[in-house]
Structure 1
Amino acid sequence: MTSEKLIRVLVVDDSAYIRKVMKQMLERSPFIEVVGTAINGVEALEKVKELDPDVITLDLIMPVMNGVEFLKNLMPTNPKPVLIASIASENGRMTMDAIEAGALEYIQKPTALATEKIYEITNELIEKVKILAQTRIPKPETAVAEIHNRRLKSNNRFEIVVIGVSTGGPQALRKIIPLLPTDFPLPICIVQHMPEGYTAIFSNRLNEQSKVKVVEATEGMTVEPGKVIIAKAGKHLAITPLQNGKKIAKLMAGNASNLYCPAVDVLFRSAAEVYGEKVLGLVLTGMGNDGKEGAAWIKAKGGIVLTEAESTCVVYGMPRSVDEAMLSDERIPLEEIAKRIVELTCTVL
């Protein structure tokens, strides 16, 4: 492979040891070249101009200019795919700030210490850099407004909306959920692939930005109209009916049959089994094929499946798998999805 075909990476971290190890880990792949390093955001901005990397790995806590400030300076003028490398327990809220500023992916450092434990993330690091090298950078965030100012009620065609999403998902969900009006009449359950420690923070952030209620899933939580439930990282989310007609959230441990935990397939299948033909499923941007099997369950029960159009996907992986399996009823650009959800599920009073 010639050098011009290599994925060119800039590593940004204030630790000399981490910079050295990140370079060693990434260059275990014959398809990746670390073209430079930077010790803080100010130096990183200069290196981006000089080197024009394909992907940037970014520490968050750095002197002079931290990772969030770097992103706020970079993304409006010279957007690049950015992979956050942090420790969730210390930097979870800061990571959400970074995602809102334009970072696309995140990887948990197993330690902040200068030990060989950091090498545990080698394979995941390489895989995510390869994925980000093929991504489409989302458009900058714009202000959102309610789709309808008048009252809504369910049109009875559907009783639940389920959504599966991965890479680029936080940005995509921020362009859908805050658009939904206060009286949206159905429950929404979401699987967003995230490391443990992030989903509670993300749910709280999205709740602050939305008119509907957004919460992280807990065992036994009621699945009810106007509530958006985001699966808890590290636990599958399923829906269980009670004898009184109510439906509740059930959290389950992962198993070898699912690459991700939570898995979109688990949520979609449970929704299809409980609600039958009254399920509206959406598969949005993300790598891999999680959601394809679940979409087949929804379709088999008579429900409807929508996929995000390739033109707006950060990674056209999950939607592609559903599209190619002929399971998608409609392919919709991201900016039109919230409106389409309301059109399919609601009647304006």
Structure 2
Amino acid sequence: MPKRIRVLVVDDSAFVRKVVSQMLARSASIEVVGTARDGEDALDLTARLEPDVVTLDLMMPRMNGVEFLRAQAKRRVVPVVICSIAGESGAMALEAFEAGAVEFVQKPTALASDRVYEIADELIAKVEAASRASVGRAPADAHPDAQVPGTDVHGPVLARRAGATAADLVVLGISTGGPQALRYLIPRLPASFPVPVAMVLHMPVGYTAMYAERLNDISPLEVVEAADGDVLRPGVVWLAPAGRHLTFVRDPDTVIRAHLDLRPLDTPHRPAVDVLFQSAAAVFGPRVLGVVMTGMGNDGLLGAAHIKAQGGRIVTEAESSCVVYGMPRAVAEASLSDRSATLEEMAGTIAELI
């Protein structure tokens, strides 16, 4: 029989520890090997039990989730799935991603009801993906602090190439491992980047605006959460808000604006990379560069096909730098990728193809 995924459940609520354990027990591929009530207990049990994955609450006494992640990283890097209430610990959740957490599952606020079981399928899928994640690999010249444009804190900032561009828009889709990857990639694009950038990052409602602000603080480009009606312009990176699809509309005066919508309703994710890519292909035709980066599943596959059908180009992140080589693999195996690039190479590759 295949080896089962050994999971440690960490939460200060005994009820939540019990419920999360019961949810994970629904999967024949998962074995809950222990539970911990806070970060200090989790450090001890992680050392003794050597789990494959840890599910981690953030708001805990004695040692919170972020403190656990930082302390555990000095011992043995283990894939961590955050399981917390959105909004209650927004800044802490972003710190957890920066400290190495690979996924996030949003706990319902009504924990004393059956609604908590609604996340079972999502939790199981993300724990299974986390067990296959490549964790502990930092980019070659990664640095936790912000880059000051014109300095070499992060290495060279790419200069804008002279002349006409080969595309009018860059669209990017990313999921598992995305917060860390974008924190590395976006600061490497110069303020003079000649075309707009639009991104979908699979993230729970309540975090995308705060995450865009964090990226903006460390990037030469302006990074914002997209708002309905925003006019696309070079020098700006738009991040789709969690819970709404990001698409594009062309005004009669040829101005192109961002449009946010709940529809389509039948996508596994909202926002969806497929929806963003399909709209880009429909509005911009062949002058689109699509980028598909680390993440589980195949969101972006259908959208990449639309971009290619219109004559646009696709770059996929190389397996060697992905936390989870799922989304890029789906595109590459469908022969839709024009170029593969590691995270370290991605900014240069985008600049070259633009």
TM-superposed CA distance for 1:206, in Å, is: 1.0
For residue 279 of structure 2, what is the aligned residue in structure 1? 270
For residue 35 of structure 1, what is the aligned residue in structure 2? 33
Structure 2 counterpart of 1:287, one-letter code: M
Matches of 2:279 and 2:188, distance apart in 1: 26
Query: Which of 74, 98, 102 is the matching residue for 1:104?
Result: 102
- Give % identity: 53
Matches of 1:114 and 1:151, distance apart in 2: 55
Unaligned stretches of 5+ residues in structure 1 = none
1:93 aligns with 2:91: yes
Q: Deviations over 1:8-29 (max 9, x none)?
A: 0001111111111111111121
TM-superposed CA distance for 1:93, in Å, is: 1.6
TM-superposed CA distance for 1:72, in Å, is: 1.0
Structure 2 counterpart of 1:266, one-letter code: V
SS at the partner of 2:89?
helix
Matches of 1:148 and 1:166, distance apart in 2: 25
Matches of 1:327 and 1:304, distance apart in 2: 8
Structure 2 counterpart of 1:272, one-letter code: A
1:313 aligns with 2:322: yes
TM-superposed CA distance for 1:112, in Å, is: 5.8
How do 1:147-162 and structure 2 match up within 5 A?
147-148=156-157, 152-153=161-162, 155-162=164-171
SS at the partner of 1:90?
coil
Query: Which of 289, 301, 305 is the matching residue for 2:298?
Result: 289
Q: Deviations over 1:295-330 (max 9, x none)?
A: 111111111100001111111111111111110001
TM-superposed CA distance for 1:151, in Å, is: 5.5
1:164 aligns with 2:164: no
Q: Deviations over 1:157-179 (max 9, x none)?
A: 11110001111111111111011
For residue 258 of structure 1, what is the aligned residue in structure 2? 267
Structure 1 counterpart of 2:103, one-letter code: E
How do 1:153-302 and structure 2 match up within 5 A?
153=162, 155-302=164-311
Between 249-258 and 271-280, report the one with greater CA deviation: 249-258
- Whether the 8 Å CA contact 2:232–2:257 is kept in 1: the answer is yes
Query: Which of 37, 50, 54 is the matching residue for 2:52?
Result: 54
Matches of 1:299 and 1:286, distance apart in 2: 21
SS at the partner of 2:350?
helix
- Whether the 8 Å CA contact 1:138–1:314 is kept in 2: the answer is no
Q: Deviations over 1:217-269 (max 9, x none)?
A: 11001111010000111111001112222211011113344211111111111
Give the number of aligned pairs: 343
SS at the partner of 1:290?
coil
Structure 1 counterpart of 2:201, one-letter code: Q
- Whether the 8 Å CA contact 1:152–1:183 is kept in 2: the answer is no
Using the size of structure 1 for normalisation, the TM-score is: 0.94
SS at the partner of 2:285?
helix
Matches of 1:71 and 1:324, distance apart in 2: 34
Matches of 2:49 and 2:284, distance apart in 1: 53
Matches of 1:298 and 1:256, distance apart in 2: 22
Matches of 1:101 and 1:68, distance apart in 2: 7
Using the size of structure 2 for normalisation, the TM-score is: 0.93
- Whether the 8 Å CA contact 1:234–1:254 is kept in 2: the answer is no
The 3 A distance-change label for structure 1 pair 151 and 132 is closer
Question: For the aligned residues, what is the CA RMSD?
Answer: 1.6
Structure 1 counterpart of 2:80, one-letter code: V
Query: Which of 20, 23, 30 is the matching residue for 1:22?
Result: 20
Q: Deviations over 1:278-308 (max 9, x none)?
A: 1111011111111111111111111110000
Unaligned stretches of 5+ residues in structure 2 = 144-152
